[in-house]
Amino acid sequence: MKTSRMIGVLKRDGSLEQFDAGKLAGTMWRAMQAEPHACYRHARDLAAALGTYLARKYKDSVSSRVVFEATVKTFGYVGLTAAEQAFKDHQAWRYDRRNQLRVRQEDGKLTWWDKNWVKDLAIHSWHVSPQTGRTLAAHVESALLEGQRETLERHEVLDLLNQTVDAFGLADAVPVGQ
């Protein structure tokens, strides 16, 4: 799903990645489960249209917040109010959970959860691309957010990262170190 012109998305951690209509379609589809007659094709078409709109409206890049707001407005505009609310609720839940998570480092110090730390760890330990590191970190974060605990040990996060690498079929590479 390519737009007529590629546009970058500035992530919360300051990194820039290409707009991915497929990724947005997956996110939209999860929210659209709240709608009685939704189908994945609708999510795919809305995401592609949103990508085209953003590429035409903005010069080079947009923040992930702009993508979020545009998605909410799109749901409302096409009358998918249950999906609109589900999308907003899920984003609020993720924000709250991220602000509750702490990681106990090896020295005993508690740090706030930082997905970027896991991304960098994946890149350096497994020699994966930044995009793959971000994807792995996103899966680790999702698993942690779903859990009930607020404090995790560093080794638990590392174990989950290694399990995620294995699940993606990347475990043939031996990690350099942790």
Residue 169 has pLDDT above 70, yes or no: yes
* Cβ-count burial 97-130 (b if 16+ within 10 Å, e if not): bbeebebbeeeeeeeebebebbbebbbebbebee
User: What pLDDT is stored for residue 88 in this prediction?
Assistant: 97
Q: Which residue has the higher pLDDT, 178 or 125?
A: 125
User: What pLDDT is stored for residue 175 in this prediction?
Assistant: 53
Confidence band, pLDDT 50/70/90 cuts, at residue 65 = very high
List the structure tokens of 174. Answer: 């031996």
User: What pLDDT is stored for residue 12 in this prediction?
Assistant: 81
Query: Please, which residues have CB within 8 angstroms of residue 151's CB and are 6 or more apart in sequence?
Result: 101, 102, 103, 104, 110
User: What pLDDT is stored for residue 3 in this prediction?
Assistant: 40
Q: Which residue has the higher pLDDT, 176 or 75?
A: 75
Q: What is the pLDDT of residues 71-86, one digit of tens each?
A: 999 999 999 999 999 9
Q: What is the pLDDT of residues 45-64, one digit of tens each?
A: 999 999 999 999 998 999 99
Please answer whether residues 122 and 71 qualify as being in contact, where contact means their C-beta atoms are separated by less than 8 angstroms: no
Residue 118 vs residues 2, 23, 56: alpha-carbon distances, Å:
29, 20, 34
Confidence band, pLDDT 50/70/90 cuts, at residue 164 = very high
| pLDDT above 70: percentage of residues in the chain | 93
Closest CA to 82 of 35, 24, 30: 35
Q: Supply the mean pLDDT for the chain.
A: 91
Q: What angle do CA 7, 134, 166 make, to 5 degrees?
A: 140
Mean pLDDT of 86-113: 96
List the structure tokens of 165. Answer: 């690498």
List the structure tokens of 146. Answer: 């779903």
